[in-house]
């Protein structure tokens, strides 16, 4: 069944109003008619099957059929900090990361980042990234849309590292720190806690991090980790690191192993 | 250092000859001159640092500097059987799967496969896929190029399933079979064996498998597994399933846990 994230204020008692791109998609792409059902979510606390009551020019009015439980989100928050990659690879990271289960994305600029930040175009780019996250979250049946933040400088990113319970910087020259042990320790440390583990995975640009950057990250409380012997492209590292963390947390099939 | 896979016959004693696209890449893109070093591998048993002796019109002659050990391949062979996805997604599966560490790729056609196989164009497509695998393997520092086979029918694929030690079919409606347990059992069953575990991961097309297909696969010895609560796009499922299997085998950072 088609799913849409709508703003909380579009819920009104037992009916909802769908507007804008979503209404357009419902009427033009899905060709919705009165009586058709679809799913709406406010991305926070309400998700429901609704039935079309009326189709207007720019909006669709629908009535509640059934409230749904929201249990598709991972029990662990993993944030992806991605040094801006070339071309449209950031879009791939956001689309795939959203499907896999990222809590949010923080683009940043480091020494070897090739992409130039264009402040004029930046607003449009973030908007586009957020749209990609919304559509991927709808497609993946997620209960919330991951956040996509505005790009940070390297310094700003390191200042944020201590907001996470654990922050890991992926470094292809790292050979001693085992990713699995790092993840297990981080999850064990939060077992029984009232709050969800918040983990931050930091991925370098095409040319990787400089040694100085890795030293600075470690001084800021991050742990350097390797993703194995194969050298992954920057956009692959984000997806693979995320999948491994969520797999270890029991989120990639079968029973969830990590619980509060 | 730039890496190239070359045919075993291009090795001759303590020198190698690089030809074709690789020679072109060396001379035009890398602008190699006598004395420059690069790495060559025959994808089987020999890998070496070599030094350019002479640059000809269509070939580069180079001399051995140092033999290298070949230890970047996973200790576990994971084959990806991918129902042909739309657009250029098969290329993404092959590129990312090669980086992550797949042993090979088997495209196939199942009931809901949308892509039409065009026998005239098929040869060219397979050639292109193999080129993508070669380039991704070079970039990822792999010691061998994963195989890319010609597309199979669903029946042909099921006939091949028993060649694997374990074959898993990803099914989004599966809820009881835990991926982690399935992987651990498969690896445990091969512990101490003289041969490497050979695992087959079968991924459906955009519309997924039919229930009948899953039943047929189970009858052919495959196990149905879920990749978690988020619904992954077909190309994402391949990358994520592969990453999870290699993570469980200890191949995604730190010490390898599975050993013969």
Nearest Cα residue in chain B from A250? B180
Distance from CA of A73 to the nearest CA of B (A): 8
Task: For residue A232, count other CB atoms closer than 10 A to its CB.
Answer: 24
Tell me which chain B residues have a C-beta less than 8 angstroms from the C-beta of A226: 253-254
Of the partner residues A142, A228, A236, the one whose CB lies closest to the CB of residue B251: A228
Mutating which of B41, B72, B169, B253 best tests the A interface, going by the most A Cβ atoms within 10 A?
B253
Q: What is the DSSP string of chain A?
A: --EEE--GGGEETTEEEEEHHHHHIIIIIS---TT-EEEEE-SSS-EEEEEEEEE-SSEEEEEEEEE-----S-SSEEEEEEEPPSTTHHHHHHHHHHHHT-SEEEEEE-TT--SPP-HHHHHHHHHHHHHHHHHHHHHTT-SSPPEEPPPEEHHHHHHHGGGSSEEEEE-TT--SS-HHHHHHHHHHHHTT-SS--EEEEEE--TT---HHHHHHHHHTT-EEE---SS---HHHHHHHHHHHHHHHTT-SSSS-----
Q: What is the pLDDT of residue A179?
A: 85
pLDDT digits (tens, 9 = 90+) for A23-58: 999 999 999 999 999 999 999 999 999 999 999 989
With beta carbons under 8 A apart, name residues in chain A contacting B244.
243-244, 247, 252-253
Q: Please write the tens of the pLDDT for every residue from A211-247.
A: 999 999 999 999 999 999 999 999 999 999 999 999 9
The predicted-structure confidence for B165-191, as pLDDT tens digits, reads as follows 999 999 988 777 778 889 999 999 998
Q: Between chains, do A232 and B100 touch, taking CB under 8 Å as contact?
A: yes
- Checking if the pLDDT of A141 tops 90, the result is yes
Cα–Cα distance between B138 and B22 in angstroms, integer?
11
pLDDT tens-digit map of B115-142: 887 888 889 999 999 999 999 999 999 9
Most B CBs within 10 A among A142, A229, A245, hence the mutation to make, goes to A229
Using the beta-carbon criterion (under 8 Å), do B96 and A239 form an inter-chain contact? Answer: yes
Out of B176, B240, B252, the one facing A179 most closely (by C-beta) is B252
Interface of B with A (CB under 8 A): 71-72, 96, 99-101, 139-142, 176-181, 225-233, 236, 239-240, 243-244, 246-248, 250-255
Residues of chain B whose pLDDT is less than 50?
260
Q: What is the mean pLDDT of chain A?
A: 93
Mutate which: A170, A253, A255, vs B, most B CBs within 10 A: A253
Distance CA(B225)–CA(B203), nearest Å, equals 10
């Amino acid at each position: 069944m088609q799913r849409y994230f709508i703003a909380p204020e579009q819920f009104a008692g037992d009916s909802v109003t769908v507007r804008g791109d979503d209404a357009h998609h419902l009427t033009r792409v899905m060709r919705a008619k009165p009586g058709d059902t679809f799913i709406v979510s406010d991305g926070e606390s309400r998700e429901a099957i609704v039935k079309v009551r009326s189709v207007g020019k720019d909006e669709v009015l629908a009535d509640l059929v059934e409230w749904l439980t929201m249990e598709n989100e991972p029990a662990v928050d993993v944030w992806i900090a991605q040094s801006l990659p070339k071309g449209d690879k950031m879009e791939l990271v956001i689309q795939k990361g959203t499907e896999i289960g990222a809590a949010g994305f923080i683009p940043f600029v480091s020494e070897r980042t090739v992409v130039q930040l264009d402040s004029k175009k930046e607003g449009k780019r973030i908007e586009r990234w957020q749209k990609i996250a919304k559509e991927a979250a709808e497609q993946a049946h997620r209960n919330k849309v991951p956040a996509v933040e505005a790009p940070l400088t390297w310094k700003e990113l390191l200042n944020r590292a201590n907001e996470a319970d654990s922050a890991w910087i992926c470094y292809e020259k790292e050979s001693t720190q085992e990713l699995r042990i790092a993840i297990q320790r981080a999850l064990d440390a939060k077992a029984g806690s009232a709050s969800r583990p918040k983990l931050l995975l930091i991925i370098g640009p095409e040319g990787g991090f400089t040694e100085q950057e890795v030293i600075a990250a470690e001084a800021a409380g991050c742990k350097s980790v390797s993703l194995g012997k194969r050298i992954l492209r920057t956009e692959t590292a984000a997806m693979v690191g995320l999948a491994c963390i969520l797999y270890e947390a029991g989120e990639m099939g079968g029973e969830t192993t990590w619980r509060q």
